[in-house]
Amino acid sequence: MSLKKQALSGAFWGFLEQFSSYGISFAVSIILARLLLPEEFGLIAMITVFVALGARLMNAGLGSSLIRTKNPTQEDYSTVFLFNLGGSIVIYIIIFILAPYIANFYYQDILTNIIRWYAIIYIINAFSMIQLTRLTKLMDFKTQMIVAIPSSIISGSIGVYMAYSGYGVWSLVGQALSQSAVSTMQLWYWSKWTPSWVFSKEKFKYHFKFGYKLTLSGILDTIFTNIYAVIIGKFFPAAQVGFYRRADSLKQLPITIISSVIAKVTYPLFAQIKDDNLRLKSIYKKIMQLIIFIVAPTLIVLGVLAEPLFRFLFTEKWLPAVPYFQILIFSGILYPIHAFNLNILQVKGRSDLFLKLEVIKKVITVIVLIIAFQFGIYGLLFGSVLISLLAFFVNTHYSGKFINYTAWEQAKDILPILALALVVGALVYIIDYKSAIFVKYDFIRLLIGGFIAFVFYIPLAYLFKMNYLLELIKIKSLI
């Protein structure tokens, strides 16, 4: 299959896979949010950083190295598989021992057993990480969709059943474990790849040399991505962590569905055209504008309609999360740009610069957090917006040099889109504020707000010649 067909097919199936799996997961989360208490979600949020750290250490960035390697052999794949499997067992033992200390940190004794059960995911996922990497390298997102949908449905059903039966926080643990197990079994069946039980020191050194810097970067990113849940969990009640996590996960939903699809497709695509900077820049620019064109108005309109949205989806017990969500959406808008700028560094093989930028951003984050913490939880939330803005300039520094696309140029290309999204958001706010006096049903308010946003945004975009959807078609000629 040609590069063009691979990219277009990958984009289609990637979007379908992400949309369906995240759609099912989101539907399940709505049911669970209605059955469980905010503090039960808060308990899981407290341990997310430790689970994610283990996953980062287990992979050691070797998956990314395999994707960027031309024509990796069975020996390459088997070596990384065995490393992941052995590493997962070691990391599980470590987290098992540390569990009581983590529980003491939060003053939550129940976390000891929760961590020890939840962390079994390390070992389960280690058995399928290479299968998933191979499918991504081949841009075979159709198979990934075939795997993701049953996994989400089965695990979601288990989680809902356990929650309805009164298992509380353990229903979230059961859901996570069953999803990993079902996904792993399917990946072994569909991927048609099995390890050869051969470990090559030379192959390991080659992939580790590239991957360990990504791992260090990933560790830093994981810690600081979850630092808010850690701080809030340490100094505030568990329910506040639940409210924060609910707001953050809802903010991430449209971002993840859209940007992760493009990221999964563009990373192997960029890797194949990494030496042609003109093509790389042209495709990157169009994709970035398209994503912001979709993400910005979506998040802003959701923020405007946050109160009826949360009440309709999650019931009134989750309304304290509304102001959290309305602040966090502004940090989320720039998230796709961060990811794509860092993708450029990876495909160029500059994991050293990737690590350097992560260190710089974390220093900035620490400084902002120290200042923001003085102003309580809202200070922390506004601090996250400032961090996202500063990270934009940091991330674009080196990638801008590689493809001759500076931070200022990127900002000029997206500012008109952001301005239009804000104007439409203001119109939706005014109309919703006026109609709320007469419209008593949240669902009707959401329908009216969404309709107004669509009616104004698309024609205004056309009027100002923001034809980014049409520009996407032109990408085909550049691949």
Q: What is the pTM of this model?
A: 0.78
User: Among 76-90, 180-194, 227-241, 396-410, whose mean pLDDT is lowest?
Assistant: 396-410
Instruction: Take residue 39 and report the two structure tokens written for it.
Output: 């503090």
pLDDT at 321: 94
| DSSP structural state of residue 236 | S
CA distance 295 to 242: 24
Average pLDDT rounded to a whole number, residues 59-75: 73
pLDDT of 120 above 90: yes
CB 194 within 8 A of CB 85: no
User: Percent of the chain beyond pLDDT 70?
Assistant: 86
CB 420 within 8 A of CB 280: no
CB 197 within 8 A of CB 82: yes
Instruction: Take residue 42 and report the two structure tokens written for it.
Output: 């808060």
Q: Which residues, including other chains, have CB under 8 Å from residue 473's CB and lie 6 or more apart?
A: none
CB 179 within 8 A of CB 158: no
CA distance 120 to 27: 25
The domain segmentation of the chain, as residue ranges, is 1-232, 273-479
User: Among 55-69, 180-194, 260-274, 335-349, whose mean pLDDT is lowest?
Assistant: 260-274
pLDDT of 476 above 50: no
Q: Which residues, including other chains, have CB under 8 Å from residue 403's CB and lie 6 or more apart?
A: 277, 280, 281, 284, 344
137 pLDDT band, cuts 50/70/90, is confident
DSSP H or E stretch at residue 21: helix 3-35
The Cα-based distances of 198 to 70, 133, 203, 466 in angstroms read 20, 18, 11, 53
pLDDT at 11: 58
CB 468 within 8 A of CB 290: yes
Instruction: Take residue 191 and report the two structure tokens written for it.
Output: 């991927």
191-221 burial, b at 16+ Cβ within 10 Å, e below that, comes to bebebeeebbeebbebbbebbbbbbbbbbbb
322 pLDDT band, cuts 50/70/90, is very high
| DSSP structural state of residue 373 | G
Position with higher pLDDT, 202 vs 353: 202
CA distance 447 to 423: 19
pLDDT of 136 above 80: no
CA angle 424, 427, 431 (to 5 degrees): 145
CB 271 within 8 A of CB 210: no
CB 239 within 8 A of CB 42: yes
477 pLDDT band, cuts 50/70/90, is very low
59 pLDDT band, cuts 50/70/90, is low
pLDDT of 27 above 70: yes
353 pLDDT band, cuts 50/70/90, is confident
CB 14 within 8 A of CB 79: no
**Mean pLDDT over all residues of the chain?**
83
pLDDT digits (tens, 9 = 90+) for 437-458: 788 889 999 999 999 999 999 8
